[in-house]
Structure 1
Amino acid sequence: MAPRDLRLLPKTHLHLHFSGSMRHLTLVELADTHGVRLPDALRTDWPPELSAADERGWFRFQRLYDIARSVLRTEDDVRRLVREAAEDDKADGSRWLEIQVDPSGYANRFHGITAFTDLVLDAARDAAAGTGIAVQVIIAANRTRHPLDARTLARLAAQYVGRGVVGFGLSNDERRGTTSEFAPAFRIARNAGLLAAPHGGELCGPATVRTCLDELGAGRVGHGVRTIEDPDLLKRVVDAQVALEVCPASNVSLGVYRRPEDVPLRQLYEAGARIALGADDPLLFGSRLAEQYETARAVHHFTDEELADLARGSVLASTAPDEVRKTLLTDIDDWLGADQTTAAPAPAATY
């Protein structure tokens, strides 16, 4: 029996960064339009060879990300990015996208954090209308900035509850800053009804996941793969059904694990963890959402039933309303029961 088409498997996408979602072709076109010089790693030698095993490696990764962000110069550029991210997600079978953005990184060029947030949310509404998939926003603070800046962003996010912002995150190098110092910002966000979804447990060990739970009130953890190293913590995550946004391509590209088969996806799944596969930064890692499911199948030997279970986990971990979740879960069951020999494949995303 032929394997089912994973691009037809309904799913949600909960770990995708804003500039990192950009198509490679779009990056090159916008760079040429705006006169931005791209290094070879972002033009001819794409996708770049990366590592964040040490500070120098992270600096290079961050430098490439910052260059990519710098090609976004106009409102049309931002709208194009969000529209294409939604189109690519739809092609990969995603029905619900939560895209993560730090407005501080775009404030100078787009008239401040509030104006930029308004622009992103308007672009998200247009993208949703044009593609038929929901596009929501997670506002994320930056670990390398002062925790007071995070409070400003949390208050900003709180103003948009019910208007397209569904969560509050914390990103950048886990080895920088003190995670617990961001607790007041997350308290503001949680009190407003936003999901707490900080990064933890990728570049640093399981202790960062514990801090995200204890100090930030995390309902989901970005990455979280190194939870596997602490059995007591893993049991706590499983019992509480705190979802882990596992991004296999990111883990290997950044040197957290040497080979794709070393990513503990199978171990986390068999322990009962709720997992939402994510692409993280396709622009820098060279693969989108469907490829993460393909990795689960080809490298970690997930059956179609287990892949459907991963998709269910992504739905249950999302902020989607109950009626949307119910529809998606039914459609996942239908994917398992479908005659895959007659199913038409979804169009492949264009990089």
Structure 2
Amino acid sequence: MEARLASPRHDSDRPPALDGSAASRDLAALPKAHLHLHFTGSMRHSTLVELAAAHEVHLPDALVEDWPPKLRATDERGWFRFQRLYDIARSVLRTPGDLRRLLRETAEDEAAEGSRWLEIQVDPSGYAARFGGLTPTVELVLDAAREAEAATGVGIGVVIAANRTKHPLDAKTLARLAVRYAGKGVVGFGLSNDERRGRAYDFGGAFRIARRGGLLSVPHGGELLGPTSVRECLETLSADRLGHGVRATEDPRLLAEIVERGVTLEVCPASNVSLGVAATAADVPLRTLYESGARLALGADDPLLFGSRLVRQYELARAEHGFGDAELAELARQSILGSAAPESVRTRVLAAIADWERTPTGG
């Protein structure tokens, strides 16, 4: 992790409030990194429908006529429905060509939204039975990522993620596999799924393997559970970044520790609303986190299920939290600084962000 760029922010440090002209720069043109995107969840809705037809997979109305689905995951039944829809979507990926198409289209969409670097998260165990095992699945994903990067110019790193609802020994197997491909496309090791069903401390051994192998520690935490979940990720998993982490605002001392450690929080406003973590986008504590001095990286999480991609998250920061262009540019800088992007990519993107800031409004 790099040293923090700035001290906690105060009202006097804010740019002027939005006034119609102060926030007219094109957010799709703002160079940025996308650090919180799940593999199946990155799929275009049109591609889901086409692949389902091609492979004769029946899709429920929530994924067709009623898309994007109405979701809520604050109770066990709601999370089960969310996971069931995700599993159905994953089931349309039947061939290597399907995976290659998904990654190519995802990279195309990221390029259109100003992403210069993408870290996409995948649990290979969800695909292994169809693609010949864990190792062939990872190699297929990495090869598809290289193709997508070459075709679009968007740099791509892969995060191998363990599943909280599975045994910690499975996570150790994935960590060892991830380390085999460190420096060959795999940049981090994650932990996803319902944090109420798998405590972070159960997975400490897997994360020690990953960190010793040079991978970033990027678990989910502080989404459906509160500060205790965040603290476990910090202390047991030595998190470099934290997927979501918004519940850290409930414990000021914990939030101060996050700032001190320079941990990047991957905040996903639309996802938080869709899953019931926040009632509205205005209730996501984005401004509180920013003013505390926490490093933030906005993410779309699962556009396939939540119906919005990365630029929309920046639009919400602008519209619902009053972020001016200078602050939005700072969010973009924090996203690239919290990433595993090579130094050459970081330098190029940071320079491009500065160019965006210098562009006249409306230009």
Deviation at 1:323?
A: 2.3
* In structure 2, C-alpha distance between the alignment counterparts of 1:339 and 1:138, rounded to whole Å: 37
Could you say which residue in structure 2 is the equivalent of 1:105?
126
**In 2: Cα distance, 1:31 partner to 1:229 partner:** 42
Distance 1:335 1:241 in 2: 25
> Within 2, Cα distance between the matches of 1:273 and 1:203?
20
Number of the residue aligned with 1:137: 158
Rounded to whole Å, the distance in 2 between the matches of 1:178 and 1:327 is 39
2:295 alignment partner, SS class: coil
The residue identity in structure 1 corresponding to 2:31 is: P
In the TM superposition, residue 329 of structure 1 has moved relative to its aligned partner by 1.1
- Following superposition, the deviation at residue 324 of structure 1 comes to 1.6
The answer to whether residue 42 in structure 2 is matched with residue 21 in structure 1 is yes
Which residue of the other structure, out of 164, 178, 184, is the alignment partner of 1:157?
178
Quote the residue 1:335 is aligned against.
Answer: 356
Deviation sequence 1:281-305 (CA, Å, 0-9, x none): 0000000000000000011110000
Aligned ranges 1:37-186 → 2 under 5 Å: 37-186=58-207
2:233 is the counterpart of 1:200: no
Q: Secondary structure at the match of 2:301?
A: coil
Answer yes or no: is the 8 Å Cα contact 2:34–2:115 preserved in 1. yes
C-alpha separation in 2, matches of 1:225 and 1:138: 21
Q: Mapping of 1:295-306 within 5 angstroms?
A: 295-306=316-327
Q: Is the 8 A contact 2:217 2:241 kept in 1?
A: yes
1:83-120 Cα shifts (integer Å, max 9, x gaps)? 01101111100000000000000011111010010000
Per-residue CA deviation, residues 172-206 of structure 1 (Å, 9 max, x unaligned), is 00100221010000000000000000000000001
CA RMSD of aligned residues (A): 0.7
> Cα offset for 1:240?
1.2
Q: Could you tell me which residue of structure 2 aligns to residue 225 of structure 1?
A: 246
Secondary structure of the residue aligned to 2:196 is coil
Task: Say if 2:192 is the partner of 1:210.
Answer: no
Q: Does 1:278 align with 2:278?
A: no
- What is the deviation of 1:340? 4.2
Q: Which residue does 2:289 correspond to in 1?
A: 268
Matched to 2:37, the amino acid is: L
In structure 1, which of residues 226, 235, 242 is the aligned counterpart of residue 256 of structure 2?
235
SS in 2 for 1:299: helix
Q: Check conservation: 2:221, 2:233, Cα contact below 8 A.
A: yes
Contact 2:241 2:264 in 1 (8 A): yes
Question: In 1, are the aligned partners of 2:24 and 2:362 still within 8 Å (CA)?
Answer: no
Unaligned runs of 5+ in 2: 1-20
Cα drift, residue 327 of structure 1: 1.5
Q: Secondary structure at the match of 2:321?
A: coil
Structure 2 CA distance for aligned equivalents of residues 227 and 209 of structure 1: 7
**CA distance in structure 1 between the aligned counterparts of 2:362 and 2:78, rounded to whole angstroms:** 45
3-state SS, counterpart of residue 146 of structure 2: helix
The corresponding residue for 2:11 is none
The 4+ residue runs of structure 1 with deviation greater than 6 A are: none
Superposed displacement of residue 26, structure 1: 0.2
Give the whole-Å Cα distance in 2 for the aligned partners of 1:189 and 1:331.
32
Return the alpha-carbon distance in structure 2 between the equivalents of residues 124 and 150 of structure 1.
Answer: 23
TM-score, structure 2 normalization: 0.93
Tell me, in whole angstroms, the C-alpha distance in 1 between the residues paired with 2:355 and 2:200.
Answer: 42
Q: 1:10 aligns with which of 21, 31, 39?
A: 31
> Equivalent residue for 1:346?
none
The residue identity in structure 2 corresponding to 1:14 is: L
The percent identity for this pair of structures is: 68
Number of paired residues?
A: 342
Q: Letter of the aligned partner of 1:172 in structure 2?
A: N
> Taking structure 1 as the reference length, what is the TM-score of the superposition?
0.96
Corresponding letter in the other structure for 1:81: L
Where does the alignment leave 5 or more consecutive residues of structure 1 unmatched? 343-351
